[in-house]
Structure 1
Amino acid sequence: MRILSQQISTYLERASWIRKMFETGAKLKQQFGEDAVCDFSLGNPDLPPPPAMAQAVRELADQADQPMIFGYMPNAGYPFAREALAEHLGREQNVDLQADDLIITCGAAGGLNALYRAILEPGDEVVCIAPYFVEYGFYAENSGATLKPVPARKEDFAPDLDALEAAISDKTRVLLVNSPNNPTGAVYTEEQMRALGELLARKSEGRERPIFLLLDEPYRFLTYDGVQAPAALGMYPYTVLCSSFSKNLALAGERVGYVALNPAMPEKAELMAGLVLTNRILGFVNAPAIGQRLMVKSLGSQVDTSVYAERRAAMAAVLDQAGMTYAMPKGAFYFFPQVPGSDDDVAFCAALQEERILAVPGRGFGMPGFVRLSFCCDKAIIDRSAEGFARAVQNFRASAGA
């Protein structure tokens, strides 16, 4: 008897790498103890929220006996929350953003799915830069579209403009850009973002339906060495910005995100009306009432990013000691090093597991031959992994004949 649809069964199979690493990690921790396993598999932010968030929680608790403090709201979110967020994002993106230019969603994932349901039709293509967040393919397929990955330049994971231009077809409806990037930590420059906008403007000429530039920016706040993510919302008329507060405000689990439209977008009001509808009929309806109120009180603050900078330096030292090749991440909290002496990322992850180290094969992100390492964990875990990494690399090179 088959109780799942064939499509869902296929999804489960394709989404298995991160799940497998999670399950393997649970078994190793049960067998050897939590402190004996170095788990770099999950991008689960672990820092405490900023002080403004703690204060907002206390204030909200004091108001909990007031009527309608947690009541229903308009489908686009609380008006006061949209106004506050529009003012904040307007400054960040250097555009004149109004409350009607954005909708508050159930996280960035809810926002992406609501947008796709509003603009995609069966047979459309969503072009993205590989490697990419594993869920992107599923989100496109939820609306009958297809994800079309285009490999980044492997030396620095920057966009390959020639390859992107060749990949854009009559079916292309969206170019999805994730910067700072999960899993590589790459941050695209202002010049690169402008070039992407110019490419889409050229490719959209004469089309009945334009190509959207979709920015997914949950790691915007987390960059290193003076690097800044450019303000790209106003660079191309058909730009849409999706993000959330899971990482910068430590609101993971509260599911508060947004979709913001370029204020200069033609037919902007029509798209926003579609977003409000799709957000409702997909079952998201609203971001949580508590989360929206906490977000408003905490805008402009963020977690202590110096902790991530310290962990990044520690992870780089571990990889250097082991002799691994990598591009230093400019943002986010991931390394994406090459597999030593081979392209078999699955086999290398197995070699790391022998040392009780958990990583995710790069093929799970659309780029075999690499592994993803998340450094949202205590620095002591990173330091403790050094000898195991060195042994795993040495043994793997020997077995591969490199």
Structure 2
Amino acid sequence: QGLADYMNQTYDAQVRADNFYMTCGAAASLTISLKALVEGPDDEIILIAPFFPEYTVFVHNANAKAVVLPPDTEHFQISLDALEKAITPHTRAIIINSPNNPSGVVYSADTYEKLAALLTRKSQEIGHPIYIISDEPYREIIYDGLPILYVPKFYKDTIICYSYSKSLSLPGERIGYVLVPDCAADAQEVYTAVCGAGRSMGFVCAPHLFQDVVLKCLGQTGDMNIYDENRKLLYNGLKEMGYDCVYPSGAFYLFVKSPEADAKAFSDKAKKLNLLIVPADSFGCPGYVRVSYCVDPDMIKRSFAAFKKLMEQYK
């Protein structure tokens, strides 16, 4: 009930206590939601690159097929033309993640409006709803005064997966939920399937102690100013050295284009300079790397000499 009250006050969500299923975080929420929605091995789940690599594991665990949408490397929003071509009668859901891991990009209201119009039309064409599964562990880590958008306001057939960890600066302390709003198609049946899927996979009752803690953390976050300062420090520092960086409006990652086509080779060279960065091939976006800036600001400053040496190898 506390969650419902908070979501209604904050987002005018018009949800009830019975719309929430408590979980051990967003990963559990995603696996449960997929298990609830997938009806057979021919079902397809669309993933928008770049995406968290474990999405493919979650989809395969649900006995469905992962259909990967190539990245829009110009804006890192959603390529709607490519999405329309990817939708088939077997499409069951599409997973979206904003603010995005790994790019740090935040989807705009215009993107959501166009996505909703497309999915509404395609759902009518194929004769069953295409659900959005909105993965939102970074919901509150957002910058530049951008609004936090409530996805069901744009598209009613939306299931939200949330985690109280990243925004509280406590990654690893997992408590979260699946939210199936009443506006979603077959909402009661989907919620019942969520409950059944949770039990079938052993996610029986999220830790009660953490459920109590959630009530004391509603609307609270870590200090977003520290992330924001780190973001500007790293983004501006690497841009000045000649790195091609995607501007991050959320989360705590910087997405950087590799100076060579092989991002793994670039990451290996970085590792020799004690820089630990992640090649984005597994995120569905070859040629890029992810840099995390949820670190002490001094570490970012100390890294610049190494980043400069790394770039000098390509000049």
Instruction: Please report the TM-score for the alignment, with normalisation by the length of structure 1.
Output: 0.76
SS at match of 2:22: strand
Matching residue within 268, 277, 281 for 1:363 = 281
Number of residue pairs the alignment of both structures matches = 314
Which structure 2 residue ranges, 5 or more long, are not aligned?
A: none
When structure 1 is superposed on structure 2, of 106-115 and 315-324 the one drifting more is 315-324
SS at match of 1:337: strand
* Aligned-pair CA distance for 1:151: 2.0
Q: Is the 8 A contact 1:188 1:229 kept in 2?
A: no
Provide the rounded CA distance (Å) in 2 between the counterparts of 1:356 and 1:251. 25
SS at match of 2:231: helix
Q: How does 1:123-162 map to 2 (within 5 A)?
A: 123-162=42-81
Provide the rounded CA distance (Å) in 1 between the counterparts of 2:261 and 2:89. 34
- Identity within the alignment, %: 37
How has the CA–CA distance of structure 1 residues 170 and 181 changed in structure 2, closer, same or farther, with 3 Å as cutoff?
same
* Aligned-pair CA distance for 1:375: 0.4
Provide the rounded CA distance (Å) in 1 between the counterparts of 2:247 and 2:276. 20
Q: How does 1:166-177 map to 2 (within 5 A)?
A: 166-177=85-96
Which structure 1 residue ranges, 5 or more long, are not aligned?
A: 1-82
Partner of 2:19: 101
Partner of 2:135: 216
Please tell me the residue identity of whatever aligns with 1:119. L
SS at match of 2:194: helix
Provide the rounded CA distance (Å) in 2 between the counterparts of 1:347 and 1:333. 24
Provide the rounded CA distance (Å) in 1 between the counterparts of 2:219 and 2:112. 24
CA RMSD of superposed structures (Å): 1.3
* Aligned-pair CA distance for 1:263: 2.1
* Aligned-pair CA distance for 1:229: 3.0
Provide the rounded CA distance (Å) in 1 between the counterparts of 2:11 and 2:41. 32
Flag as ranges the 4+ runs of structure 1 deviating above 6 A: none
Q: Is the 8 A contact 1:222 1:331 kept in 2?
A: yes
Instruction: Please report the TM-score for the alignment, with normalisation by the length of structure 2.
Output: 0.96
Higher relative contact order (CA 8 A, sep 6+): 1
Please tell me the residue identity of whatever aligns with 1:242. C
How has the CA–CA distance of structure 1 residues 147 and 91 changed in structure 2, closer, same or farther, with 3 Å as cutoff?
farther
Q: Deviations over 1:229-248 (max 9, x none)?
A: 32212322211111110112
SS at match of 1:357: coil
* Aligned-pair CA distance for 1:128: 1.7
* Aligned-pair CA distance for 1:106: 1.5
Partner of 1:274: 193
* Aligned-pair CA distance for 1:119: 1.0
Partner of 2:154: 235
Partner of 1:202: 121
* Aligned-pair CA distance for 1:224: 1.0
Q: Is the 8 A contact 1:279 1:285 kept in 2?
A: yes
Q: Deviations over 1:190-211 (max 9, x none)?
A: 1111211111111111545311
Q: Deviations over 1:64-121 (max 9, x none)?
A: xxxxxxxxxxxxxxxxxxx001111223332211011121111111111111111102
Partner of 2:229: 310
- Pairing 1:319–2:247 present: no
Please tell me the residue identity of whatever aligns with 2:207. P
Provide the rounded CA distance (Å) in 2 between the counterparts of 1:265 and 1:153. 28
Q: Is the 8 A contact 2:88 2:126 kept in 1?
A: no
Provide the rounded CA distance (Å) in 1 between the counterparts of 2:64 and 2:176. 23
Q: Of the two, which has the highest radius of gyration? A: 1
Partner of 1:256: 175
Q: Is the 8 A contact 2:35 2:62 kept in 1?
A: yes
Partner of 2:262: 344
Q: Is the 8 A contact 2:41 2:64 kept in 1?
A: yes
Q: Deviations over 1:106-161 (max 9, x none)?
A: 11111111111111021211112101001000000001112111123212211111
SS at match of 2:246: coil
Provide the rounded CA distance (Å) in 1 between the counterparts of 2:103 and 2:276. 17
